[in-house]
Amino acid sequence: MNRLIAVFIFFLAAVAVSAQGAYNFSVIKQNPITPVKNQASSGTCWSFSGVGMLESELIRMGKGEFDLSEMYIVRRNYEDKAQKYARLHGNLNFSAGGSFADVVETINEYGIMPEDAYRGLNYGSETHNHGELDKVLKGYMDGIIGARNLSPVWSDAFSSILDTYLGPLPQTFTYQGKQYSPHTFKEFLGLKQEDYISLTSFTHHPFYQSFAIEVPDNWRWANSYNLPVDELMEVMESAIMNGYTIAWASDVSEAGFSREGIAIIPDENAAENAGSDQAKWLGLSTRERDADLKTRVGTQVLAEKMITQEMRQESFNNYQTTDDHGMQIYGIATDKDGNKFYMVKNSWGETGPYKGLWYASDPFVRYKTLSIVLHRDAIPAQIAAKLGL
């Protein structure tokens, strides 16, 4: 571990102590991460969190610290998505969103670039702002599909739009005095897409088999292996404790996901959440209690729900659990009562009391995890055997 990485980890630990608020966390295990980045006004969390996991993988592998280009991966995926959108006559989700498959399942085909080789900021801004770009790309694709007669150059024009906003793709670049292509840089890093596995947990498909999670941003129709939720949580804890980090797809629209850096599932029926006026609390409707709890997440320690497999499935079935956001899980901590929290790196810049980091409770992760991606060696042997890995 080089000195910069060691200093950054020490900084994270110091933040966890100095910005406690209502919580007092003790770190059980945290693995190295690179500095918090900012996706800003772009819907590219999937790239930032997937790349963050790969950057931590390089540290774990002893390669050192790298700052990889999220926008190179975004650019390549926008082009792939446009091709599929055209072939399906527009019957596909065409937006800025994506999945971790867009990061790991393109490594072998497209390679990787460092941030300095492709920043994706060709429109006079120091931060990412894709509002105009996303509208232009969608409008262009709908226009050519609506014409019902695609020309052989439509994809060239699409790439020209990306060149204008994100910048032309370099064929080669120099890194630390040596020239690389995206593929030779990938070989230099030693990253292979077949090393990474996606896992999920839902009962509408058989356990220990794979399926494509039915969410709009899974436009590649990439498969995830299906585990019972207890085994999914076992994988996550084992991975963290053995030095791996996790790309985490989750629903952050819940009232319990707070800008105070805390993510919990407060129990609106728990008497201990009533506060000083229990009679008034009991007179509130469930919706009113939920709204009240939302204002208190992160500033008070609240009792949480016990999460079951059935609750997960019901929430997914009725659209309460949606594919909102991608982040990186890198550690485990406990609060003063010994409750387990997962330490999360976000991509919204150094915001909130923990400077861009979150603490997500075990119930929150158990309930709201859509899928995870991690190195295949992080999966305990007995679970990998059940999956045929």
Let me know if residue 68 belongs to a domain. Answer: yes
According to the model, what pLDDT value does residue 57 have? 98
- CA–CA separation, 328 and 344 (whole Å): 6
Q: What is the average per-residue pLDDT within 172-196?
A: 97
According to the model, what pLDDT value does residue 11 have? 43
Let me know if residue 295 belongs to a domain. Answer: no
- CA–CA separation, 380 and 232 (whole Å): 11
Let me know if residue 285 belongs to a domain. Answer: no
- Domain harbouring 26, CATH code: 3.90.70.10
Let me know if residue 270 belongs to a domain. Answer: no
Among residues 169, 195, 167, 192, which one has the least CA distance to residue 182? 169
Q: What is the average per-residue pLDDT within 12-26?
A: 61
User: Could you list the residue range(s) of the whole structural domain that residue 317 is in?
Assistant: 3-265+304-387
User: Which pTM does this prediction carry?
Assistant: 0.93
Distance of CA 291 to the CA centre of its chain: 26
pLDDT at 16 over 60: no
> Which amino acid belongs to residue 174?
T
Residue that is written with structure tokens 């931060």 in the block = 127
Least confident of 29-33, 114-118, 211-215, 264-268: 264-268
Least confident of 18-22, 84-88, 292-296, 371-375: 18-22
According to the model, what pLDDT value does residue 1 have? 38
Query: Could you tell me the two tokens for 351?
Result: 């915001």
User: What mean pLDDT value characterizes the chain?
Assistant: 92
According to the model, what pLDDT value does residue 10 have? 40
Q: At what angle do helices 131-146 and 70-87 cross, to 10 degrees?
A: 20
pLDDT at 209 over 70: yes
Q: For 24-57, b where at least 16 C-beta lie within 10 A, e where not — what string?
A: ebebeebbbbbbbbbbeebbbbbbbbbbbbbbbb
Among residues 66, 33, 65, which one has the least CA distance to residue 49? 33
- CA–CA separation, 94 and 77 (whole Å): 11
- CA–CA separation, 302 and 257 (whole Å): 13
Among residues 319, 267, 334, which one has the least CA distance to residue 297? 267
Task: Look at the chain and report how many structural domains it folds into.
Answer: 1
Among residues 365, 283, 282, 376, which one has the least CA distance to residue 331? 365
Let me know if residue 283 belongs to a domain. Answer: no
Q: What is the average per-residue pLDDT within 284-290?
A: 83
Let me know if residue 239 belongs to a domain. Answer: yes
Q: What is the average per-residue pLDDT within 33-49?
A: 97
Let me know if residue 280 belongs to a domain. Answer: no
Let me know if residue 53 belongs to a domain. Answer: yes
Residue 8 — pLDDT band, cuts 50, 70, 90? very low
